[in-house]
Amino acid sequence: MILDSISETPIKNISLDGGNVKHALKSSEKSYNGFGEAYFSFLNKGAVKAWKLHTKMTMNLIVPIGNVKFVFFDPDKGIFLDKTIGEICYSRITVPPGIWFGFKSESESQSLILNIANILHDPDEVKKKAIDEINYNW
């Protein structure tokens, strides 16, 4: 099943007196697939961004601020997989190309998503669908 290729990796959140240090990704880790770019995406309280599929990009998704529910969809099987990460569960989700996904903020304030991608953003390698094209109860 295509959704089995998604992995979640706990990452370190080091508590320090002056402020925490949150790890993201090391080049020595299995989920590191090279570096193209890193970018941040802000997500307002209750906001949903869906649906997208990357044809070439591997994403490493981290939520250092807030909590975000990521939903992945396998259209061949009609199966959804959801994972919530952020301050309640600090981990990284690695998503290979070819998987439909969307996400929703589950925080009382703005959430912040970091994507460490293996390639540069290319609008020609992204497929998009309107939120109502995939039937999911957000």
Q: What is the pLDDT along the chain (138 residues), one digit of tens a residue?
A: 799 999 999 999 999 999 999 999 999 998 899 999 999 999 999 999 999 999 999 999 999 999 999 999 999 999 999 999 999 999 999 999 999 999 999 999 999 999 999 999 999 999 999 999 999 999
Q: Find the CATH number of the domain harbouring 6.
A: 2.60.120.10
Asked whether residue 138 is domain-assigned, the answer is no
Whether residue 55 is contained in a domain is answered as yes
Does 28 fall in a domain?
yes
Report the alpha-carbon distance of residue 63 to residue 86 in Å, rounded.
5
The range of the structural domain enclosing residue 43 comes to 2-133
Question: So what's the pLDDT on residue 1?
Answer: 73
Does residue 15 lie within any of the structural domains? yes
Asked whether residue 25 is domain-assigned, the answer is: yes
Number of domains, the chain? 1
As a residue count, the chain comes to 138
Say what the pTM is.
0.93
